């Protein structure tokens, strides 16, 4: 029998032996298992760092085939020039045709589900999808912890009250503050009651307060829970941007873990589920800080970075000092590209001398025109925010200073110390340091009975340990911060993030209030984003000890989120903070931790 001709065999073989299509993955977890954790993009950093260049390898075929590199903010690639690729040529052993993924449209090629295409390693869609998953995880957990706070307004809905006053053409409240607020943290000026907190969160609430009809109908606690997942999700994008530009040695999986550790292993966890005025400001401020760092890296989006910083000033005034981070980045970009064409690699940064000496050398050798353009674009939205604050403060209190939001007019039990020492003073440094570094759980007399602790429908009788109303020490609630003490690598970017975190940290230590009443040192929320950036940049191995400390942090902060400001857990918190005394012929305050004022 004659053998069939090759052409006929090729024609009928597919009909005889149909090739099954590959099964599409049905979950994000399947895709992560299939693709595995991604590694840093094998290309040269867009801007130089203190580390030597790493050897170049072939870029990921999937990335080069399917999706061009873009920014995490969804905008087109920055106009700032990047270094040309230094990929090595393919060798004879390589198989380009085999490594190249087949196109979904190619005849006979395996089809890809939309989720598979979105999850291609190193693609922008993958980063955004993982960021969205982090946001949803935070939203679910925060909502469960918030519980009944989602269904009603909080007792301290100051921002909703301010938004309602604006909607009625006033800067002050109509009459006295509502009785449910207990006269807590309201400012009295010219016989009128005011909200003296920086007003940006009230700006965000205005449309919903208007739709609700009144502050009492607006669920401000639920609104804050919806916002709370933004900070951790954007932090992941920040850490990924550092990895993609080879300034961080953390993997994609490490960055997911760090973002979740920030969400559930820091005092941000208990802050996110309160909804009251003090903690609402922290939630909004953390989201703005994460966006600021994302836009400020490489000075890529100067106008957006300036807008975020201006909103931060109108939310948590002391956080404005993190603007130095953009100044460092703008100077680095202007120096690296001075006298270089678009096709030339950026020049290396100075490595000799102190940080100030290197910064001076960079300023001297920077492209002044490029630096001016970056600074102007960054400064315009900041100046707009300052102008708005000046107008608002002058209209309310007759003081055009942008920072004069009226806290000195608060009618609180410690007003005497504000009148005597001011809002910021070295007088408050020892007590705030004691809270930040030394406040630990303590046990009352041994005769005290055990406390009933409800967990998962069961009741446990546990020893009666008490947390001071001033909160727990920062290293106790989040011991992973101890890994910042001795970083393995310190470069220009690490120094910029450290200086940025130091500004609000110092100002908060000089503030008249320790953060009372709190589970942990809540003022650390103002610079926690930068602390996690430093963890990513430090290059210290995330060892077993690190993750044991992370587990400790998650357990303690979960307890704080579940128990703080819950009546059935009041026995774990000390409310005996201030006792009125007579001193120097007037009224002062004395408490169980701090000396009299």
Give the span between the Cα atoms of 485 and 498, in whole angstroms: 11
Give the Cβ contact number of residue 132 at 10 Å: 13
Residues 406 and 535 in one domain: yes
Residues 232 and 190 in one domain: no
Residues 205 and 228 in one domain: no
What domain range includes position 458?
224-590
Domain stop point among 218, 242, 264: 218
pLDDT at 101: 46
Q: What is the per-residue burial (b if ≥16 Cβ within 10 Å, else e) of 170-194?
A: ebbbeeebbeebeeebbbbbeeebb
Residues 334 and 250 in one domain: yes
Question: In 3D, which of 228, 180, 223, 185 has the Cα closest to residue 205?
Answer: 223
Residues 211 and 259 in one domain: no
**Mean pLDDT per 10-residue segment, the chain (597 residues):** 47 47 46 50 47 39 41 48 38 40 50 86 94 98 96 97 97 94 94 96 97 96 98 98 94 97 98 97 98 97 98 96 95 86 78 80 89 96 98 96 94 85 93 94 74 70 81 97 90 93 97 93 97 94 95 96 91 69 46 48
Residues 406 and 273 in one domain: yes
Give the Cβ contact number of residue 65 at 10 Å: 13
In a domain, 505, yes or no: yes
CA distances 361 to 357, 358, 366, Å, are 6, 5, 8
Q: What is the per-residue burial (b if ≥16 Cβ within 10 Å, else e) of 316-330?
A: bbbbbbbbebbbbbb
Give the span between the Cα atoms of 296 and 316, in whole angstroms: 19
Residues 189 and 162 in one domain: yes
In a domain, 192, yes or no: yes
Question: In 3D, which of 493, 496, 442 has the Cα closest to residue 469?
Answer: 442
Per residue in 47-94, pLDDT (tens digit) is 554 444 444 333 333 333 344 445 555 444 444 444 333 333 333 334
pLDDT at 359: 81
- Phi first, then psi, for residue 466 (nearest 5°) are -125, 140
Residues 164 and 299 in one domain: no
Structural domain total, the chain: 2
Please report where in the chains the tokens 């009352």 appear, as a residue. 444
- Phi first, then psi, for residue 403 (nearest 5°) are -90, 0
In a domain, 16, yes or no: no
Residues 420 and 446 in one domain: yes
Relative to beta strand 451-455, strand 458-462 is antiparallel
Residues 192 and 306 in one domain: no
pTM of the model: 0.80
Cis link prior to 517 (omega < 30° from 0)?
yes
Per residue in 122-147, pLDDT (tens digit) is 999 999 999 999 999 999 999 999 99
In a domain, 148, yes or no: no
CA atoms within 13 A on the CB side of 374: 27
In a domain, 92, yes or no: no
In a domain, 404, yes or no: yes
Residues 236 and 180 in one domain: no
Residues 271 and 399 in one domain: yes
pLDDT at 443: 79
């Amino acid at each position: 029998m004659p053998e069939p001709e090759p052409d006929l065999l090729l024609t009928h073989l597919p009909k005889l032996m149909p090739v099954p299509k590959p099964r599409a993955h049905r979950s994000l977890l399947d895709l992560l298992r299939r693709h595995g954790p991604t590694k840093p993009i094998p290309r040269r950093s867009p801007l130089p760092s203190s580390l030597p260049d790493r050897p170049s390898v072939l870029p990921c075929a999937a990335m080069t085939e399917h999706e061009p590199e873009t920014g995490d903010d969804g905008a087109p690639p920055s106009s700032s020039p990047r270094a040309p690729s230094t990929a090595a040529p393919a060798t004879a052993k390589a198989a380009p045709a085999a490594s190249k993924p087949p196109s979904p449209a190619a005849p006979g090629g395996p089809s890809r589900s939309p989720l598979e295409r979105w999850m291609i390693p190193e693609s922008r869609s993958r980063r955004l999808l993982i960021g969205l998953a982090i946001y949803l995880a935070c939203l679910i957990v925060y909502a469960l912890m918030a519980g009944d706070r989602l269904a009603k307004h909080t007792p301290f809905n100051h921002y909703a009250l301010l938004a309602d006053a604006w909607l009625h053409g006033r800067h002050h409240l109509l009459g006295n503050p509502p009785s449910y607020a207990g006269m807590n943290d309201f400012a009295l000026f010219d016989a009128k009651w005011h909200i003296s907190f920086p007003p940006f969160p009230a700006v965000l609430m205005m449309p919903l307060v208007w739709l609700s009809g009144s502050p009492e109908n607006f669920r401000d606690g639920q609104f804050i829970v919806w916002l709370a997942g933004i900070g951790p999700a954007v932090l992941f994008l920040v850490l990924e941007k550092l990895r993609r530009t080879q300034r961080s040695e953390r993997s994609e999986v490490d960055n997911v873990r760090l973002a979740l550790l920030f969400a559930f292993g820091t005092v941000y966890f208990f802050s996110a589920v309160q909804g009251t005025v003090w903690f609402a400001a922290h939630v909004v401020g953390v989201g703005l800080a994460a966006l600021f760092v994302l836009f400020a890296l490489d000075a890529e989006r100067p106008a957006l970075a300036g807008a975020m910083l201006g909103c931060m000033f109108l939310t948590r005034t002391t956080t404005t000092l993190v603007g130095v981070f953009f100044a460092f980045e703008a100077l680095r970009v202007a120096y690296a590209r001075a006298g270089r064409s678009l096709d030339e690699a950026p020049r290396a940064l100075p490595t000799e001398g102190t940080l100030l000496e290197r910064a001076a050398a960079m300023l001297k050798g920077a492209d002044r025109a490029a630096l001016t353009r970056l600074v102007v674009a960054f400064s315009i939205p900041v100046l707009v925010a300052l102008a708005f604050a000046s107008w608002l403060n002058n209209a309310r209190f007759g003081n055009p200073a942008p920072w004069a939001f009226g806290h000195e007019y608060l009618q609180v039990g410690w007003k005497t110390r504000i009148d005597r020492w001011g809002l910021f003073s070295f007088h408050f440094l020892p007590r705030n340091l004691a809270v930040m570094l030394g406040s630990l759980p303590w046990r009352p007399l041994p005769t005290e009975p055990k406390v009933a602790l409800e967990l998962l429908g069961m009741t446990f009788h546990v020893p009666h340990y008490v947390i001071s109303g001033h909160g727990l020490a920062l290293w106790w609630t989040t011991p992973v911060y101890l890994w910042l003490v001795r970083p393995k690598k310190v470069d220009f970017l690490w120094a910029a993030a450290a200086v940025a975190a130091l500004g609000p940290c110092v100002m908060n230590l000089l503030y008249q209030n320790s953060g009372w009443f709190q589970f942990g040192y809540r003022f650390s929320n103002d610079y926690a984003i930068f602390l996690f950036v430093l963890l990513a940049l430090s290059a210290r191995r995330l060892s077993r000890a690190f993750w044991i400390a992370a587990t400790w942090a998650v357990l303690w902060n979960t307890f704080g989120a579940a128990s703080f400001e819950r009546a059935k857990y009041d026995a774990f918190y000390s409310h005996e903070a201030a006792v009125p005394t007579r001193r120097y012929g007037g009224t002062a305050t004395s408490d169980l931790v701090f000396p009299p004022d």
